[in-house]
Amino acid sequence: MSEKTEQQRLTVFKTYKLYVGGKFPRSESGRVYEVTDSKGNWLANAPQSSRKDARDAVVAARKAFGAWSGATAYNRGQVLYRVAEMLEGRREQFVREVAEAEGLSKSKAAAVVDATIDRWVWYAGWTDKISQVVGGANPVAGPYFNLSSPEPSGVVAVVAPQESSFLGLVSVVAPVIATGNTAVVIASEKAPLPALSLGEVLATSDVPGGVVNVLSGRTAEIAAPLAAHQDVNAIDLAGADEGLAKELEIAAADNLKRVLRPQPVDYFETPGIERLTAFLETKTVWHPTGSLGASGSSY
């Protein structure tokens, strides 16, 4: 009678990568850094992005901007809703990752994930409504129609919240793309794994490649070139501390970027429309009444 030898399987660890242009590259530098849980236990090696990775992400975001901003608001809403569907299907994975990243119990992590999925749905519902709220016809003295409508700013660099690695992340990214902008996101430095996994969800949903690009690594190292980049139109400093925020704001002034300064936020609270309007420009069009003559426009 032969004896069967029990063999123990090796654990297959997940390899986390960046998400740039709809693809999953390793950092151009080849560097990684250790990510640990709240007790200091090793979770994974995350890519440590370089300045070159940041530049590549901006190129991808700019390339995607034309088609994304030109899509109908209703279509963008459908795409965002599809992301929420995909998150719902991978709920257990994100509950585990959020629990490990933020040191939460499984029940509290589940509440965070549920709130995050609901937040996607909330912003999906605003895509075709925000223009009606902040745009409209303006009264003018003269035989003209004067109409204002919001348009996206362009490429937005987002410094994601450091503590709220998933709900906070989605709360600052979703409004950027809901209004037609594209985003380069710097994930939480100490808890980047939920953000990197979100890249996998975006890739398998209907979000076109380049609309959202996710980088991980040392926040200050990645944020500095993004703030000074001439093809970045705006920056959200949600996850920057006071010192870094001041440095980035100075760097961003070089080409008059829109800057959303960091502020205390309870991400569980229902958001207003402030983040939706933060990265919108107002286009004003004049047209003579009672005539089919040429129209003029100004910003």
- For residue 67, the model assigns a pLDDT of 97
Angle in degrees, 0-180, between the axes of helices 219-228 and 51-70, rounded to the nearest 10: 60
Q: Residue 156 above 50 pLDDT?
A: yes
Give a yes or no: residue 5 inside a domain.
no
Percent of the chain with pLDDT over 90: 78
Region class of 68: left (phi > 0), else alpha (psi between -120 and 50), else beta: alpha
Give a yes or no: residue 128 inside a domain.
yes
pLDDT tens for 247-290 read 999 999 988 899 999 988 999 999 989 999 999 998 878 878 87
What CATH number is associated with residue 161?
3.40.605.10
What is the distance between the alpha carbons of residues 45 and 197, in angstroms, rounded to a whole number?
A: 13
pLDDT tens for 11-43 read 888 899 999 999 999 999 899 999 999 889 999
Total structural domains within the chain: 1
Give a yes or no: residue 167 inside a domain.
yes
Give whichever of 81-90, 125-134, 250-259, 285-294 has the largest mean pLDDT: 81-90
Do residues 258 and 109 make contact, with C-beta atoms less than 8 angstroms apart?
no
User: H-type helices in the chain, by residue range?
Assistant: 51-70, 73-89, 91-102, 106-126, 130-134, 167-178, 193-203, 219-228, 242-252, 274-277
Q: Residue 91 above 50 pLDDT?
A: yes
- For residue 299, the model assigns a pLDDT of 44
Do residues 109 and 193 make contact, with C-beta atoms less than 8 angstroms apart?
no
Do residues 164 and 267 make contact, with C-beta atoms less than 8 angstroms apart?
yes
- For residue 200, the model assigns a pLDDT of 96
Least confident segment among 15-24, 46-55, 138-147: 138-147
Mean pLDDT across the stretch 88-108? 95
Using DSSP bridges, classify how beta strands 155-159 and 144-152 pair: parallel, antiparallel or unpaired.
Answer: unpaired
- For residue 297, the model assigns a pLDDT of 47
Model pTM? Answer: 0.89
**Which residues span the domain enclosing 119?**
47-298
Q: Residue 298 above 70 pLDDT?
A: no
Give a yes or no: residue 57 inside a domain.
yes
Do residues 93 and 67 make contact, with C-beta atoms less than 8 angstroms apart?
no
Give a yes or no: residue 192 inside a domain.
yes
Give a yes or no: residue 247 inside a domain.
yes
Mean pLDDT across the stretch 113-128? 97
Give a yes or no: residue 163 inside a domain.
yes
Give a yes or no: residue 9 inside a domain.
no
